[in-house]
Amino acid sequence: MHAAVITAYGTPPAYAEHPEPVAQGEHEMVVDVLAAGLHHLTRAKADGTHYSATGVFPIVPGVDGVVRDPSGRLRYAVLDDTNLGTFAERTVIDVRRSVVLPDTVDPVRIAAAMNPGMSSWVALRRRIDFREGQRVLILGATGSAGRMAIQVAKRFGAAQVFAAGRDTTRLKALPALGADRVLTFDEIAAAADVDVVLDFVWGEPAAGAMLPLLTARADRSAPLTWVQIGSMAGASAPIPSAALRAARLQIVGSGIGSVSSRDFIAELPELAAAVAEGAIDVRARAVPQAAIAQAWNDHRTDERLVFVP
């Protein structure tokens, strides 16, 4: 079969021949891959910058996808740590880490949406005690995951959603997705009295936003939960010590490890249904898997690239 193969960090995948996958465990099965998204997690695992990267080569990237099982059913599957990902004609899945999809779904749409949508969905459902009526600030709201986070927060009953980002052109489109107010990072104090921050940015921008946000709160003793989800601006953030003393701030992370695989999998059916019914806006572009070397570093679009065989 053909697959996208990486032989060293820092190099894009090459479309090449690869040995056929073999199911070994009791719950494993070989499946045909129909669509697999190029997510930030996929890139990070493939270039060695994600904490779950193994450093063992060759690597076939791809952390999830829409597949067809041997009985002909469509499934959305999440792969465990493996060197044989979904950027291949066929791969191996653990059936327990998959959900059956209706035959009528668009595989490209599901493959594009599930990973970025899951980041905020699981954070609000499984990582913190989010309650209907709370107010949410999203840092990095102009990216795919941030845009979906606006819609997810509203779906879960957020009373007010502030969407913050650096791209003022993209910010203008966010009220149509449910954002009550859009902000640049210089305006972050306007969201001072939120209850939850969903942070897809981290790095210097997140650290720089903390004190202006916290010191402008009407009641600094009111709890604020800062959920660190992504690190688009840097893996480390120089958090000022005053931020931890001047307000009732709790910083938690949400991701692989801090949320169990069982909790992630439990949320998949409802998220997949929301995407399938069109409740979450999805921007996706299908790309032939054979063109992966050219598309791998294409950052010119806000559409999620989805590779198809």
**What residue type is assigned to position 188 of the chain?**
I
- What is the 3 state secondary structure string of the chain? CEEEEECCCCCCCEEEECCCCCCCCCCEEEEEEEEEECCHHHHHHHHCCCCCCCCCCCEECCCEEEEECCCCCEEEEECCCCCECCCECEEEEEHHHEEEECCCCCHHHHHHHHHHHHHHHHHHHHHCCCCCCCEEEEECCCCHHHHHHHHHHHHCCCCEEEEECCCHHHHCCHHHHCCCEEECHHHHHHHCCCCEEEECCCHHHHHHHHHHHHHCCCCCCCCEEEEECCCCCCCCCCCCHHHHHCCCEEEEECCECCECHHHHHHHHHHHHHHHHCCCCCCCEEEEEHHHHHHHCCCCCCCCEEEEEC
Residues of the chain with pLDDT below 50 are: none
The pLDDT value given to residue 118: 97
The pLDDT value given to residue 140: 97
User: Cα separation of 144 and 280, whole Å?
Assistant: 11
The pLDDT value given to residue 236: 95
Q: Classify burial at 102, counting beta carbons within 10 Å of its beta carbon; exposed 0-12, middle 13-18, buried 19 or more.
A: exposed
The pLDDT value given to residue 136: 98
Positive/negative CA dihedral, 28, 34, 40, 44: positive
2-115+260-308 matches 129-253 in fold: no
The pLDDT value given to residue 248: 97
| Of residues 122, 125, 62, 69, the one with CA closest to residue 99 | 69
- Is the CB of residue 153 less than 8 Å from the CB of residue 132? no
- Architecture of domain 2-115+260-308 in this structure: Alpha-Beta Complex (3.90)
| Of residues 116, 117, 155, 153, the one with CA closest to residue 135 | 153
The pLDDT value given to residue 301: 67
According to CATH, the topology of domain 129-253 is Rossmann fold (3.40.50)
The pLDDT value given to residue 300: 63
Per-domain residue ranges of the chain: 2-115+260-308, 129-253
- Is the CB of residue 5 less than 8 Å from the CB of residue 14? yes
* Assigned token pair, 306: 């989805």
Tokens 């509203």 -> residue: 154
